[in-house]
Each structure stands twice: as structure tokens, then as C-alpha cells.
């Protein structure tokens, strides 16, 4: 069995994916996706002529990378003793997640609501449910 964990702020989803992988002796991959769609979201006219837009985009990129490192460390500590893979991708969150799922996973473990990048403003679950070639476990976050 191959499990994909979509890393977001849900520690409960991490714990659930690790638990299932241990019990089922499954391959576990955790994927963090750096959202590269902020540029599209802001548009091109926002405070043009100043460095405010560029400064904000640099801030968001730095924040995304810091979140990736924090969640990777959290995942590693909770998956200690387990054989796992940790991956990072960059792009539109749902697109990158579905691209990884196409690699042949049996289960996607996802925090609900899924909070990654701009997906907090969109409805990522509808898109993921439509395109996912495997079962999906939603782990409700407090």
C-alpha cells in the first residue's frame, strides 16, 4: 500500500497517516506544496511603481519556505522509526497534489479543512475529489 500525506497545518492528519503506515506497513510519502499562485492572486497592478508588491511576494515566499521546514521537522519527529519519503513541490497546490497522486498511490490523507497557501480561499476538496485516482481520508482538524 502507498500512502500520500498532503502536509498542511493539521498535526492530526500527520498522526493519522503515520499510524496507518505503521499498522499496514505501507509506503508513506509526505508532500508539502509551496503555493506559487500568489502572483496571480495579487494581479499585476497592485501598488505598481512601488516595491510593496515585490516585497510582499518575497515575504510570502519566505513564509512558505519556513512553513515547509517547520512541517517537515514535525513530520520527521512523528514518523521516527518509519520508512518514509518527504517531498516538496512548487506550483498551484491542487495541480501539484493531483500530479503526485498520478504516481500510483492507494490512499491520500488530507487535513480537513485543507489549509495550504491560497487554498484556504478556494475549494480545493472539490477539485481533489474529482481528480483523485485513489481513496481519500479526511482528518477533521479541531
| pLDDT band, very low/low/confident/very high, at 92 (cuts 50, 70, 90) | confident
Distance between CA atoms of 104 and 94, rounded to whole angstroms?
Answer: 16
- pLDDT average, residue stretch 119-131: 74
Q: pLDDT value at position 59? A: 77
Residue ranges making up the domain that contains 115: 2-140
**Number of independent structural domains in the chain:** 1
Helix spans in 43-141 (H)? 52-78, 93-101, 124-131
- pLDDT average, residue stretch 98-123: 82
Distance between CA atoms of 117 and 107, rounded to whole angstroms?
Answer: 22
Helices (H) and strands (E) in the chain, counts: 5, 5
CATH of the domain at 86: 3.40.50.620
- pLDDT average, residue stretch 88-102: 92
Amino acid at each position: 500500500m502507498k500512502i500520500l500525506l498532503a502536509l498542511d497545518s493539521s498535526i492530526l492528519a500527520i498522526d493519522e497517516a503515520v499510524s496507518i503506515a505503521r499498522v499496514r506497513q505501507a509506503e508513506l510519502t509526505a508532500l508539502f506544496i509551496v503555493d506559487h499562485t500568489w502572483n496571480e492572486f495579487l494581479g499585476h497592478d497592485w501598488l505598481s511603481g512601488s516595491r510593496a508588491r515585490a516585497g510582499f511576494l518575497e515575504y510570502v515566499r519566505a513564509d512558505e519556505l519556513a512553513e515547509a521546514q517547520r512541517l517537515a521537522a514535525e513530520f520527521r519527529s512523528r514518523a521516527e522509526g518509519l520508512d518514509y519519503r518527504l517531498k516538496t513541490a512548487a506550483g498551484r497546490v491542487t495541480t501539484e497534489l493531483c500530479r503526485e497522486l498520478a504516481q500510483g498511490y492507494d490512499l491520500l490523507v488530507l487535513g480537513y479543512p485543507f489549509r495550504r497557501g491560497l487554498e484556504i480561499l478556494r475549494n480545493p476538496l472539490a477539485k481533489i475529489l474529482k481528480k483523485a485516482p485513489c481513496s481519500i481520508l479526511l482528518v477533521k482538524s479541531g
